[in-house]
Structures are given as C-alpha cells and as structure tokens.
Homo-oligomer: A and B are copies of this chain.
Amino acid sequence: MNYIIAIIQPSQLEAVQEKLTAAGVSGMTVTEVRGYGRQRGKTEIYRGTEYSINFLPKIKLELALDDKASAEAVDIITEVCKSGRIGDGKIFTFPLTEALRIRTGETGSEAL
C-alpha cells in the first residue's frame, strides 16, 4: 500500500477529484496549505508600501492506495494538474505499513 501526498493548485481540486473518483478512487483527504517553491509569491502594495507574499495557497491531497491504483492516481493527478507553469505542484509517495477502517475494523487493502 502507498500513501500519496500531492500538493496542487487550488483551482485544480475539483477536476482532480472528479477524475480520481471516475477512476475508482473511493476516498481522499484534503487540506488547505501554503506553499513555498520556485513559484515566487506576488508583490503587493498596501497603503503605499511594497511587500512580497512568500507563501501561496495550495491544496494538499492525501490518498492511501494499493500499489497499482497508486501509480494510476499519480498519472491522473499529473495529467489534470499539469499546466506547464511554475507552481503546478509535487507528488510524494510513501510506504504505508497499515490501514484500518474504523467503522468495520477491516485492515489492509480492504480498508481503503
């Protein structure tokens, strides 16, 4: 089992969720985060003073998936979120030791 953490542009969340769901992904967890990276924040002016915003709003998507499904999910996310512009985001894959569905007590792949 793998655990995928994807940092994406907020505007892509809806499309990604639809595509993933269509591909059979049955669950995911979403967090609002702020990201710092190659994409530099904007420079704004507040009351005549310039300042730069370092962190930009991003969405963090977390998915626990079977090995096969996880490869597919990475592809889907890449496809949907790739605009080619800096700031599209990153996908990180982790080993997952165990998963458990609280409601039923099922573990492993059953729990995903």
Contacts and interface: CB of A to CB of B under 8 A. Distances in A.
Contact of A28 (B21, B27, B35, B101): B35
Nearest to A81: B102
Size range of the interface on A? Answer: 35 or more
Contact of A100 (B54, B55, B90): B90
A51 interface: no
A25 to B, nearest CB: 9
A99 to B, nearest CB: 5
B99 A82 contact: no
Interface of A: 2-3, 5-8, 17, 21, 26-38, 54-55, 58, 60, 62, 64, 74, 77-78, 81-103, 105, 111
